[in-house]
Amino acid sequence: MTNTAAPAPAKGLEGVIAANTRLSDVRGDIGQLIYCGYDINELAGKVAYEDVVHLLHHNHLPNAKELAELKVTLGQFREIPQGVIDIICKLPKETPPMNAIRTAVSALGCFDTTSEDDSQHSQRRKALRLIAQVPVVTAYFHRNRQGLPLIHPDAKLGEAANFLWMVNGTKPTKDMEATMDVCYVLHADHGMNASTFSARVTIATLSDMYSAVTTAIGTLKGPLHGGANEGVIKMLHEIGSLEAVDGWVADALAQKKKIMGIGHRVYKVLDPRAPHLKKMAQILSSQLGEPKWIQMSERIAELMLTKKNLHANVDFYSATVYYSLGIPTDLFTPIFAISRTSGWTAHVLEQLADNRLIRPQSVYTGPVGLKVVPVEQR
């Protein structure tokens, strides 16, 4: 006998409100994203990622002194323990970078003697350390797997420029830095998305900051969440040419395949981050003299809107932006993780400020009343 009287669960928790937050609001019906009162269109291109880190962590944009102090702190926190570097360098070179980063963040917690200190000061410090160190472990893993020397972080550079420096070993141009910085700003937070929810579930047990961010990285990795940006470039390569797009999309839809970078649980109109990324992708593609990828992307987006009434999401054009910047495909999701660490840690701090264990229920659909049969009779 199964439990048929219980209410049906909200599959995928769709429509379920899990928390109050002052951090960000995703207004899916009108295509608006707000960080602490600021529309994303007001922030993108006007403020740096470090401003957004301060905004999410303190609920207001920093003044000049606060911003300068934050930049110094993040620069200092980029130094990571040798033990963590050793672990990163011993990982198999074929390890997907998201797995490597997940492991490295967990290791950072083991080497931080304050990891179990739950004072507010210590939690804030750990949050900033993670924001500064996730890019460093990503770059170290990437350089080591290529057999290249590790590049020491440059405390004088901002977050976006330092990451490009540590990955490429050359200082980025102002344009590259600015593009990356806008990408960071656009990815910093996004309401109760899957990885943020998992970070909040973990910290709500009064676990620790490193465990919460490790959980979040594991969640972001999946192709239905942050992993979609890698899927977009794989798809573009598989399609191969602008002429092949229509046929490929028709086949994929006939086979009920999901087109990566299209659709969203909350946005029923255009994802407000997509136009910013689309514009940057257009500029970069024309600068590179390689318009094929953006042309193919635009055609896929057009077809999906006409055929399925589904819009491109943040991952769709960010893939072309990173690709045009020469970043390897499997670092796309790690870049998302680098930026979202600011949002995850802000949510962890917010959860801790008014905590209650997150513990939903399930509807049991199995049988009841079974009797144990001796093993030799089963």
CA separation for the pair 207, 116 (Å, rounded): 8
- Closest separation between CB of residue 49 and ligand COA, Å? 19
CA separation for the pair 140, 135 (Å, rounded): 9
Q: Which is nearer to ligand COA, 166 or 220 (CB)?
A: 220
Q: Sheet with 24-27: list strands edge to edge.
A: 24-27, 32-35, 38-39
Sign of CA dihedral 142, 167, 193, 348: positive
- Closest separation between CB of residue 286 and ligand COA, Å? 25
Q: Which is nearer to ligand COA, 75 or 261 (CB)?
A: 261
Answer for the pair 266, 26: CB distance below 8 angstroms, yes or no.
yes
Provide CB contacts within 8 A for 294, sequence distance 6+.
Answer: 278, 281, 282, 285, 320
Active site residue 29: no
- Closest separation between CB of residue 27 and ligand COA, Å? 15
Burial 73-107 (b: 16+ CB within 10 A, else e): ebbebbebeeebbebbeebeeeeebbebbbbbbbb
- Closest separation between CB of residue 261 and ligand COA, Å? 5
Q: Which is nearer to ligand COA, 12 or 169 (CB)?
A: 12
Q: Which is nearer to ligand COA, 81 or 218 (CB)?
A: 218
Of 208, 276, 315, 347, which one is the catalytic site residue?
A: 315
Under the rule (CB under 6 A), what is the footprint of ligand COA?
A: 12, 224-225, 228, 258-265, 308, 310, 313-315
CA separation for the pair 259, 238 (Å, rounded): 12
CA separation for the pair 257, 223 (Å, rounded): 13
For residue 68, give Cα distances in angstroms to 50, 52, 172, 181.
9, 13, 21, 17
Q: Which is nearer to ligand COA, 234 or 258 (CB)?
A: 258
SS3 367: coil
Q: For residue 24, give the H/E element and its range.
A: strand 24-27
- Closest separation between CB of residue 253 and ligand COA, Å? 6
* Tokens (6 digits) for 10: 């909200």
SS3 124: helix
- Closest separation between CB of residue 258 and ligand COA, Å? 4
Q: Which is nearer to ligand COA, 31 or 153 (CB)?
A: 31
Cα–Cα nearest to 44, from 194, 204, 227, 181 = 181
CA separation for the pair 105, 212 (Å, rounded): 10
Of 142, 264, 276, 347, which one is the catalytic site residue?
A: 264
Active site residue 225: no
Nearest residue relative to ligand COA (C-beta): 263
- Closest separation between CB of residue 112 and ligand COA, Å? 31
Q: Which is nearer to ligand COA, 159 or 271 (CB)?
A: 271
Cα–Cα nearest to 50, from 175, 150, 162 = 162
Give the residue numbers marked as catalytic.
Answer: 264, 315
